[in-house]
Structure 1
Amino acid sequence: MNKDRQQNPWILSVVSILLLQLVATSSSANNLLFKRLSIGFNAPVLAQSLPANIQYSPPDRGAPGATGSGGARAYEKPTILESDENFTRTRGSSTPAPETLQTVPKECASTTPTLLVPQNHIGLTTSSNPTLLWYLPSKDAEIMIFELRKAGEKEPIYAEQLQPSAGIIQMQLPKDKVKLEIGAEYNWAVSVSCVVEGKRRKISVEAGIKRVAPTPELTGQLSKANTPQQKARVFAQKGYWYDALETLSTAFTTNPNQSTYADILSLLDQVGLN
C-alpha cells in the first residue's frame, strides 16, 4: 500500500496541506455536524514510515446489501450533473432534467466537490444518521447545497444550504430531520454554483448510500474492539464504508495521530480516490 500511495501524490498532498481545524457553520439554525477534518502531518513522509493496517472489503454485490427494494440494480458511480436550475428551489417535475457531464467545465474545476465514497459500488452504513464526507478544492463557490433523496425519487427528503469551506468536509445527517430506513437506498448530492460561458450553472455530484442492519457477527466483533480505530477496521473488513470512514474521521478529529491518519489515507486509496 505504501507503494500505491507514492504513486498517488495528489491525495497525499491535498489531505496534508488543505485541512485546518476549523468548525464551519450552516446557513440554517440547525446545529449540524458540519466541519472540516483537520490533518496536519506530512503525508509523503508518513506514507513511507507508517504502514496502514486497515483493509476495506467491498460487500457482495449479489447480497441484500447491494440490492434495492425492487431487486438488484446496476450501480451508478458518483455522477456529475450540470443544470441552470435556480438554487432557491429544488428540482421538480416541471424542471428540465440536468445534463450528465463526462468532464467538469474548466471554469468549475476549482469548486467541484469530490464525494469520499467507493467509485464502483454503493457504500453501506448501519446508522440511521451517518456522517458523509466530501472534498471541496476551494471556497470560491458562492453557494453549496446538500441534498438527500430516496433512490428513484426526484424531490429531496432533506436539503440544506451550507457555507462553502475548502478541504475535507464532514456532515452528520441531523437526527431531528432524517432517519435512513433499513434496507433502503438513497442518493446524496453536493451542489455548487459556477459561471460557465457567462451563465450561472449548478454543478452537482451525486452518490449512493444504503442502510443495512448490522449482522450478529459484526456486532460481536465490534464489542471486542477496544478503540475507535479497531472498530473502524472491523467496519471496513465487513464492507461498511460509511461507518468505517466516519469512525476514523471522528477519532482523528478528537485525537489526531499518525496511525489513524494512515488508515484514512489507505481507506480512500483502496476505493479509487487517488
Structure 2
Amino acid sequence: MKGIKPSLYFVPFSLPLYLLSGLTAQVQAQSYHANKTWQVSQTFKPPQRGKLPASAGGSTRGSSCLKGKQLITPLMPPDKLGLTFAQHPTFFWYIPPSQLKTAKFLLLTEDQNIFYETSFTLPNKPGIISFKLPDSAPALAVGKTYHWYLTIACNTQDSSENPTVDGWVERTQPEATLSQALAKANLYKLPTIYAEAGIWHEALTSLVQLRQTEPNNFKAKLDWRQFFKSVGLNAIASEPLIDCCTPKNQPQN
C-alpha cells in the first residue's frame, strides 16, 4: 500500500483507511417522481448503502487558534460521505471567527495517495464558505471514493494546533429517469430532485444557488432551514454565505 507523500503544507499524521469499495451508491434505490413539485420542508434523503464506520470522517482536531475555541463545521450528511455526479464538485464548510488567513485542502484516493491539494485565503468574517474543485484538477472517477481534509494553518511547527476536519466524497452516475428529470428541471425543482436522490453535493449547491439568486424568496429560506435540520446542521442554518475560495495555485479570472 502506498503511503501519503507529505506536502509542504501538511505535517504527516496517521490516516485511517476504510474499505469503501462495497459502498458504491445505489441512487436507483431512491424513487423519484418526475411530476413532483418543488416543496417547502425540503429534507435530504440519504441513499440506501452500507454504513460507514463512525470515525470515517467529520472529526475535528485542534481549535486553540480559533476564537472561543469554536470548531470548523463541514457541511456533510450524517454518514460523512457525500455523493456527487460532478467531476469537480463543490465542498462547503462553516468557518468560525478567526484571524487566520490560510486554509489547506487535501484530497486523497482510497489507497491514500494525494489526488489533489491546494491552499486558499479565508474571508475576513465568519460564515459558510465553498470551494469548487477547479476544472484544472483531475476529475473524480465514477465509482471511486475520495477522502478530503480541510486544515486551517495556524501553527507551521506543530500540526496538532491546526484545526482540521475531514470527510468523504464519492462520484456516481444518475439512472436514465433521473437524468431526464434533471434536464427538464428549473432552479426551483433542482434542490428537491437532488435531495430525494441522495446526491449531497448538488443538492446543497443548488440550494445555495437558489438562495443567492433569490435571497428574499420565502420558500427558499424555509427549504434551506429544513434541509439543514434534516442532517443535523440547524445550528449553522442562519450563518451567512461568504464569497470564497480561489485556489492559490489557480489563476484568478
TM (norm. structure 2) is: 0.66
**Aligned partners of 2:77, 2:178: CA distance in 1, in Å?**
20
Cα offset, 1:105, TM superposition: 4.9
Cα offset, 1:121, TM superposition: 4.4
> Structure 1, unaligned stretches of length 5 or more?
1-50, 67-72, 83-103
Query: Could you say which structure has the higher strand fraction?
Result: 1
Contact 1:126 1:212 survives alignment (8 Å):
yes
Structure 2 residue aligned with 1:267: 227
Contact 1:110 1:137 survives alignment (8 Å):
no
Cα offset, 1:163, TM superposition: 1.2
Structure 2 residue aligned with 1:70: none
Cα offset, 1:108, TM superposition: 6.4
**Aligned partners of 1:113, 1:237: CA distance in 2, in Å?**
27
Q: Among residues 38, 44, 58, which one is paired with 1:78 in the alignment?
A: 58
Cα offset, 1:250, TM superposition: 1.9
**Aligned partners of 2:121, 2:135: CA distance in 1, in Å?**
20
**Aligned partners of 2:57, 2:122: CA distance in 1, in Å?**
24
Cα offset, 1:135, TM superposition: 0.6
Structure 2 residue aligned with 1:203: 163
**Aligned partners of 2:110, 2:224: CA distance in 1, in Å?**
28
Cα offset, 1:253, TM superposition: 1.9
Contact 1:141 1:192 survives alignment (8 Å):
yes
Contact 1:183 1:212 survives alignment (8 Å):
yes
CA distance change for structure 1 residues 188 and 229 in 2, over 3 Å: closer, same or farther?
farther
Q: What is the CA RMSD across the aligned residues, in angstroms?
A: 2.6
1:168 alignment partner, SS class = strand
**Aligned partners of 1:271, 1:253: CA distance in 2, in Å?**
21
**Aligned partners of 1:168, 1:113: CA distance in 2, in Å?**
10
Q: Among residues 241, 251, 254, which one is paired with 2:200 in the alignment?
A: 241
Contact 2:65 2:162 survives alignment (8 Å):
no
> Structure 2, unaligned stretches of length 5 or more?
1-38, 235-253
Structure 2 residue aligned with 1:54: 42
Contact 2:104 2:153 survives alignment (8 Å):
no
Structure 2 residue aligned with 1:87: none
2:143 alignment partner, SS class = coil
Structure 1 residue aligned with 2:181: 221
**Aligned partners of 1:249, 1:233: CA distance in 2, in Å?**
13
**Aligned partners of 1:259, 1:112: CA distance in 2, in Å?**
30
**Aligned partners of 1:60, 1:168: CA distance in 2, in Å?**
28
Cα offset, 1:252, TM superposition: 2.0
State the 4+ residue runs in structure 1 displaced beyond 3 angstroms: 104-112
Residue type of the alignment partner of 2:42: I
Pairing 1:186–2:146 present: yes
CA distance change for structure 1 residues 113 and 107 in 2, over 3 Å: closer, same or farther?
closer
Residue type of the alignment partner of 2:139: K
Residue type of the alignment partner of 2:60: I
Percentage of identical aligned residues? 26
264-273 or 166-175, larger mean C-alpha shift: 264-273
Structure 2 residue aligned with 1:254: 213
1:59 alignment partner, SS class = coil
Deviations, residues 200-256 of structure 1 (Å, cap 9, x unaligned) = 72221001110001111211322342x213111001001111110011112222332
TM (norm. structure 1) is: 0.62
1:233 alignment partner, SS class = helix
Contact 2:182 2:190 survives alignment (8 Å):
yes
CA distance change for structure 1 residues 175 and 134 in 2, over 3 Å: closer, same or farther?
same
Residue type of the alignment partner of 1:218: L
Structure 1 residue aligned with 2:114: 156
**Aligned partners of 1:132, 1:228: CA distance in 2, in Å?**
19
2:49 alignment partner, SS class = coil
Structure 2 residue aligned with 1:8: none
Contact 2:66 2:97 survives alignment (8 Å):
no
**Aligned partners of 1:265, 1:271: CA distance in 2, in Å?**
10
Contact 1:131 1:246 survives alignment (8 Å):
yes
Residue type of the alignment partner of 2:174: P
Structure 1 residue aligned with 2:240: none
Cα offset, 1:160, TM superposition: 1.7
Cα offset, 1:111, TM superposition: 5.9
CA distance change for structure 1 residues 179 and 199 in 2, over 3 Å: closer, same or farther?
closer
Cα offset, 1:199, TM superposition: 6.0
Contact 2:80 2:167 survives alignment (8 Å):
no
